[in-house]
A and B are shown apart, each in its own frame.
Chain A
């Protein structure tokens, strides 16, 4: 293990390390703590510039209620859910199929196709912007929930396929081979042999894609105009325009926007990190 395990050091160093940890964390998360502290202050503190001092009044409940009652935040949150969940389901499903095809079958274009998905995953959004926006406008998908999740699903399919293909490739091939020898149909091999084995990969992908899509801001700007289809990220920006100088409300709204991916991360931490690093290390 590197660096040398702290428990082998002198007790003083160990105590020092343990004491320093929370301090380091405090500094690291200072921006977040500051915005949380702001989100529970009353308007008076904000106007008088009391940012670091003890709040003169606690307005946690009032502020967070105000975000919902004075703006379309509830609608934005719901939109985010309606955009994110189908994106995850579609992209992960498509990737299971495609990843299986690319990992198990040996055919000429398997590697080029695989590279196509990988490359697509890295391209700048801007090269897609005008045509995708235009296509959405033409097909009536502009400013709709579906218009957004269809795009996200398609785009994330690249990353998911990269991930799934590598995961399935690492499975023991004998399993599939023996199933084939027993005459099991290809579709059934996928369904009964491979799918149960890739469950951890599905979980990992699901949390990752959830976070990526939830945090999308660019496409929300490109593909929506009004309140009805805007997700919370773009919504927070709209609120920033609406609550000018009401930093306590903007802070509260920002934190609300952050809650779902954060909750997802803490609930599914193991899968999340496995996902990031497995997709990564390969």
Chain B
């Protein structure tokens, strides 16, 4: 008995450097496996089933294996293509947050009294929930009760009385109903989404600008560089890490866009503002959804798209790791 424990001790002591990390890792790995890693594979496998999400009262699932049928359906589903197209619009237009954030960061990169206050106030929109941002802009765009409506009334409408003598407005042209227009609604939502995202990119650049080597700037200045040239050839190369991460978070943000769509249009009118993230939610668990297998197929497609970016990001990290060794 004592022999055994001595043996164990010595084994542990001998191998402590290879055993210890697993003790430290175990809780995080367990959590992460249960809630993240395993569900990914479950979702992928579920995408080969047809399931309305219901269990029989005894708890057995009512799912039916259908092979690739969900993916075939997806291919013929115009709503899927609209969502994919909107995802692309999000990706491209959301990228405006990067230069816009840089622009504001440059504007604010001064040392006048109260600058700290200004910087934090400019960052403000990022801290607020997207739900709140969505509500604010939803109200902004509302053609009857919102800001757009009020401005429109001031510009194009005259106040008259209707048949009952109540005050009403006669407009020479209809107020733009941005969030109900199949052409414009997505852009309206992206515009709202840019607001916090620009703030995010701005803060990344502000920190990046702090670390720009001032001697290089001064040297370039002596060489006569200024304005755009200075920015392009001297400053931006030094901001590369900030730019990289700004692009990464913006891509992820664009592909994850869900909150604002759920709040502002719920994918409407007739699905024209859907993106994959929201479409998946809609087909799987909204009122008229209940198609878990089909939803999982949508999620799998979204996951594969994201995987491209994740792989690129990991590859970049791997290069850095190799250097740091």
Asked if A261 is at the interface (CB within 8 A of a chain B CB), the reply is: yes
Q: What are the residues of chain A within 8 A of B221 when measuring CB–CB?
A: 4
Report the separation of the CA atoms of residues A257 and B255 in the bound assembly, to the nearest whole angstrom.
25
Complex contact B284–A129 (CB within 8 A): yes
B215 to chain A, nearest CB (A): 11
Report the separation of the CA atoms of residues A135 and B31 in the bound assembly, to the nearest whole angstrom.
13
Q: What are the residues of chain A within 8 A of B25 when measuring CB–CB?
A: 97-98, 101-102, 113
Q: What are the residues of chain A within 8 A of B259 when measuring CB–CB?
A: 217-218
Partner of B42, one of A2, A125, A131, A214: A131
From residue 107 to 153 of chain A, which have CB atoms closer than 8 A to chain B?
Answer: 107, 110-111, 113, 115-120, 122-133, 135, 138, 150-151, 153
Q: Which residue of B lies closest to A162 (CB)?
A: B317
Partner of B140, one of A34, A94, A125, A157: A34
Complex contact A155–B35 (CB within 8 A): yes
Complex contact A97–B27 (CB within 8 A): yes
Binds A, one of B69-77, B89-97, B103-111: B103-111
Q: Which residue of A lies closest to B31 (CB)?
A: A154
Asked if B131 is at the interface (CB within 8 A of a chain A CB), the reply is: yes
From residue 71 to 124 of chain A, which have CB atoms closer than 8 A to chain B?
Answer: 90, 94-95, 97-98, 100-102, 104-105, 107, 110-111, 113, 115-120, 122-124
Report the separation of the CA atoms of residues A95 and B140 in the bound assembly, to the nearest whole angstrom.
41
Asked if B120 is at the interface (CB within 8 A of a chain A CB), the reply is: yes
Partner of B132, one of A95, A154, A236, A281: A236
B264 to chain A, nearest CB (A): 11
Q: Decide yes or no: A153 and B31 within 8 Å by CB, A2-B231, A258-B129 being known contacts.
A: yes
Q: What are the residues of chain A within 8 A of B53 when measuring CB–CB?
A: 130
Q: What are the residues of chain B within 8 A of A175 when measuring CB–CB?
A: none
Complex contact B217–A1 (CB within 8 A): yes
Partner of A31, one of B110, B140, B214, B235: B140
A23 to chain B, nearest CB (A): 11
Complex contact A24–B107 (CB within 8 A): yes
Report the separation of the CA atoms of residues A29 and B199 in the bound assembly, to the nearest whole angstrom.
11
Binds B, one of A62-70, A197-205, A262-270: A262-270
Asked if A21 is at the interface (CB within 8 A of a chain B CB), the reply is: yes
Report the separation of the CA atoms of residues A273 and B263 in the bound assembly, to the nearest whole angstrom.
28
A54 to chain B, nearest CB (A): 14
Complex contact B296–A130 (CB within 8 A): yes
From residue 110 to 128 of chain B, which have CB atoms closer than 8 A to chain A?
Answer: 110-112, 114, 118, 120-125, 127-128
What are 13 A-B pairs with beta-carbon distances under 8 A? Answer: A32-B125, A122-B252, A150-B31, A154-B32, A217-B130, A217-B263, A237-B263, A250-B135, A265-B120, A265-B124, A273-B207, A276-B204, A280-B245
Beyond A32-B125, A186-B20, A217-B129, list 11 extra A-B contacts (CB 8 Å). Answer: A28-B125, A34-B140, A49-B150, A118-B313, A118-B317, A123-B36, A190-B24, A234-B131, A254-B135, A255-B132, A273-B203
